[in-house]
Each structure stands twice: as structure tokens, then as C-alpha cells.
Amino acid sequence: MLTEQIKHRIIKAVVDNRSLFSGSDAKYANSLGINPAIYNRLKKNETERIMAEHKWITLARRFEIRFGNEPEWITAKTPVFTYIEKQLQFCKKEGASGIYCDKADVGKTHAAKEFARSNRNVVYVDCSQVKSKQKLVRLIAREFGVDHTGKYSEVYADLVYYLKVIDTPLIILDEAGDVDYSAFLELKAMWNAAEGNCGWYMIGADGLEAKWNRAMGNKKVGYAELFRRYGSRYQRIVPEGKDERREFLDNQAAMIIKANAAKINSEDLHKLIVKCNATKDKAMTGASLTRVKIEIKKMKQAS
């Protein structure tokens, strides 16, 4: 059972996030999957008999509220983070589109989520969880506070209209290579419909680039057209050369470790980076950021 302390942390996250949403309170409540009357009670800091436990948990998951005493994770402005942040800022401001394809486990997803959490009218989508056309479009509609439960054609039409009238919306499509073909074609249609007013940014690892190139090589309908709409090139920042890549990733790991374990000495820092290089993925030369996070958590729990 959730404690009052955790519920108040959830309420704070809900209320703080309201400033990043352009629509009405009712639309904001809809984007959270709650009734507007419940949202009004949350604004008053009420917790008693307001909603079922699973609704609280859903909100906690959405805002990544920690239930235990786990220390706050501090974001380091790594080269990957800064590069993606600048790309997203440009796409949002100019209604532009881009594709970022780079090595796995270099901080792409964290950078995208942080941008969505701190900027107005930005929706982050994990495409691996919404692969079909209907699930993808309904999720985007819900995140913008548009009715997502009605007839699909009306949900789509309302969403497109909303994307054309709100101020500088941006949709981030992480794991974009996971969407099925019908969803992919729908993304092309949505891009056309909201051209110039909505920014789009696809994120993926090497597999997204390989899939897209294969589809264009086979002249599969839609891929070449959308590739042009997304800038006709794959953005990346991690060096291709083995030695350069290792230096780049190790430096990123050092920045993250220093931000989250400030008292670590240089010798222990080096040992930890070496440890985080111990991976079975031979293509991934350099420290694994997933491993870095695990090792930092172990250090903090032991201290």
C-alpha cells in the first residue's frame, strides 16, 4: 500500500508537469488517464478516497517516482545528451524532423526522456510498446490530451488537427524500428498532414538504419519518401573507429560516474570504467552505460 509521503510526491509531479501542457485542465487530466474532477482534487493536495491504488501506481510509473530511499539520479551533460538535446530543440522550434541512429547503450533514451520531461508540448513514445498503427496513434493522442478511445478515424483526425494548432509540438519516436508497416505509413500521413507545425524525431540503434536501408533498397512504398522528410540522413555522434569509440564511451562513463559518485578517487574511477567495459557484446567497445548505472547503485547501497 502506498504511503501518504509517496502519494504527495506523485501529486507534486502531476502538478509540476501541468506547466508543460498547452491544453485545458480537462485535456491534461485526459492525458494522465484520470477524471478532471480527480485532477482538481489532486491540485488541492487531497489523497483520501480519491482514486484506486492502481491509478496512483500508474501515475507514479509515468513520472518515474521512486518508492524507496533510492538516491536521485543526476543527469550528466554527456556529448550524446547534449547532441540529442540540441537536435530536439531545433526540431521543436522549426517543426523539423530528424533520425538519430547510433550504437546501443550510449544514453539516447535517457536524453530523449529528459527533454520530454522538461519541455512543453513534447511527447515521448517507446515504439516497442505500441507497434501497431492503432496503438501508436491512440497513445500519441492520449499524451496530448486528445480523446483516444473513440472511433479510430476520429481519433486520428482530432490528433492531426490538434498538432496543427498547438504551439511547437514535438513527437519523439524511440525504438522507431519496432513499429509495423501500417504504423510506419500512418506516421508518413501524419507528417504530411501537420507539415511545418509539428517536429518529429526518430531514435534507434544500428538496426533502425539497416531496416530502413533494406526497405528503400527493395523500393518498399513509403520509406524513401519519409526518409526525405526526416532529412535524408542518419544523425550520429559516437565514433566508428574502435579506439576512438572506446575513448568516447569511457569519457561519457566518467562524466556520469563523477556526477553520481562525487567522492570517487581517480584510481577507483578507472577501475570502475574498466569493469563497465566487461561486456559480451564485442561490437560495443567502451563502457556500457547500463553497467555504469548498476555499479553506481551498488556503490551507493554499500556506503
Question: What's this model's pTM, rounded to 2 decimal places?
Answer: 0.89
Q: Cell numbers 513499429 label which residue?
A: 179
Q: Identify the three-state secondary structure at position 124.
A: strand
Pairing of strands 170-174, 97-101: unpaired
pLDDT band at residue 62, thresholds of 50, 70 and 90? confident
62 vs 142, which has greater pLDDT?
Answer: 142
Cell output for 211: 531496416
Q: What are phi and psi of 173, to 5 degrees?
A: -110, 95
Instruction: State the cell numbers at 143.
Output: 499524451
Instruction: Encode pLDDT of 130-186 as tens digits.
Output: 999 999 999 999 999 999 999 999 999 999 999 999 999 999 999 999 999 999 999
Burial of residue 167 (number of CB atoms within 10 Å: 0-12, 13-18, 19+): exposed
pLDDT tens-digit readout, 179-209: 999 999 999 999 999 999 999 999 998 889 9
Give residue-wise pLDDT tens across range 104-138: 999 999 999 999 999 999 999 999 999 999 999 99
Residue 253's Cα: distance from chain center in Å? 20
**pLDDT at residue 263 above 60?**
yes
Residue 67 CA from chain centroid, whole number: 21
Provide CB contacts within 8 A for 198, sequence distance 6+: 95, 163, 164, 169, 170, 171, 190, 191
Look at residue 277 in the predicted model and tell me its pLDDT.
87
Which ranges constitute the DSSP H helices of the chain? 4-17, 25-32, 36-43, 53-62, 79-94, 108-118, 133-143, 152-165, 181-193, 206-217, 223-229, 242-260, 266-276, 289-302
